[in-house]
């Protein structure tokens, strides 16, 4: 007589397992942040006097563009040495009359160079992670060098007390987009405030500025 072997079904019910997984996934989805915040690194000039002098050499007032941000997202700028009436208004947009427009025109040479470098980098992209890292570092170094070259405008950023943090970040952002390596954030002076007041009443009018002298 043959022994009849009964075939048993070895199916396991996975439904409870799936339930538990669902719970865990919901937990992780709700408690985590996938978007890591980015950051900007800034280097402030030191307060010590000896370094200050060196810094001043770096950013010569006569060759610099000074950007002053004010309340209600207004932003002004002047070039070179401040003078009553030399203040002009700009905005944060990338259109005509914006800060970016102004800085891009000033920094054409450097931007072209950086763009060429980036293109070269994009073409030679390799799958090797180590080489990739090395190439990226080299690219960053070179960009840094171009940004620090002669001919790249120096920018001084000032802000009135009524300006907001967002304005400061917007200004720094423009520096990065326009490849400007030399910029400083300094405290606003009384003369700058007077200039803003003057601008509000008279607008940009060098002739009027000359007349009051």
Point out which residues bind another protein (CB under 8 A): 11, 13-15, 17-18, 21-22, 24-25, 28-29, 31-48, 69, 94, 100, 104, 111, 115, 159-170, 172-173, 176-178, 185, 187
Q: Give the residue with the Cβ less far from another protein, 117 or 208.
A: 117
Of 120, 112, 121, residue with least CA distance to 147 = 112
Q: Give the residue with the Cβ less far from another protein, 77 or 85.
A: 77
Q: Give the residue with the Cβ less far from another protein, 84 or 103.
A: 103
Cβ 19 to another protein, closest distance in Å? 10
The rounded distance, in Å, linking the Cα atoms of 172 and 165 is 11
Cβ 179 to another protein, closest distance in Å? 9
Instruction: Please tell me whether residue 31 adopts helix, strand or coil conformation.
Output: helix
Q: Give the residue with the Cβ less far from another protein, 84 or 156.
A: 156
Of 194, 198, 193, residue with least CA distance to 209 = 198
DSSP per residue over 111-142, as a string?
Answer: HHHHHHHHHHHHHT--S-HHHHHHHHHHHHHH
Cβ 160 to another protein, closest distance in Å? 7
Cβ 188 to another protein, closest distance in Å? 9
Cβ 82 to another protein, closest distance in Å? 20
Q: Who's near 35: CB < 8 A, 6+ residues apart?
A: none
Q: Give the residue with the Cβ less far from another protein, 8 or 11.
A: 11
Q: Give the residue with the Cβ less far from another protein, 19 or 80.
A: 19
Cβ 85 to another protein, closest distance in Å? 25
Q: For the chain, how far is it from start to end, CA to CA, in angstroms?
A: 125
Burial letters 120-145, b for 16+ CB under 10 A, else e: ebeeeeeeeeeeeeebeeebeebbee
């Amino acid at each position: 007589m043959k022994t009849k072997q009964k075939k048993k079904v070895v199916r396991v019910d996975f439904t409870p397992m799936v339930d538990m997984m669902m719970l865990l996934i919901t937990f992780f989805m709700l408690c985590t942040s996938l978007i890591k915040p980015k950051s900007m690194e800034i280097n402030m000039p030191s307060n010590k006097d000896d370094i200050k002098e060196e810094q001043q050499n770096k950013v010569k007032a006569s060759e610099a563009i000074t950007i002053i941000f004010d309340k209600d997202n207004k932003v002004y700028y002047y070039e070179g040495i401040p003078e009553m009436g030399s203040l002009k208004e700009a905005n944060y947009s990338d259109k005509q009359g914006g800060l970016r427009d102004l800085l891009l025109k000033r920094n054409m040479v450097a931007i072209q160079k950086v763009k060429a470098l980036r293109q070269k980098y994009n073409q030679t992209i390799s799958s090797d992670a180590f080489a990739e890292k090395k190439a990226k570092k080299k690219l960053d170094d070179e960009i840094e060098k171009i940004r620090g070259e002669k001919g790249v405008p120096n920018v001084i950023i000032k802000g009135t007390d009524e300006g907001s943090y967002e304005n400061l970040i917007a200004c720094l952002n423009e520096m990065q987009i326009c490849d400007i390596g030399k910029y400083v954030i300094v405290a606003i002076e009384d003369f700058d405030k007077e200039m803003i007041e003057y601008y509000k009443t008279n607008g940009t009018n060098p002739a009027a500025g000359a007349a009051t002298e």
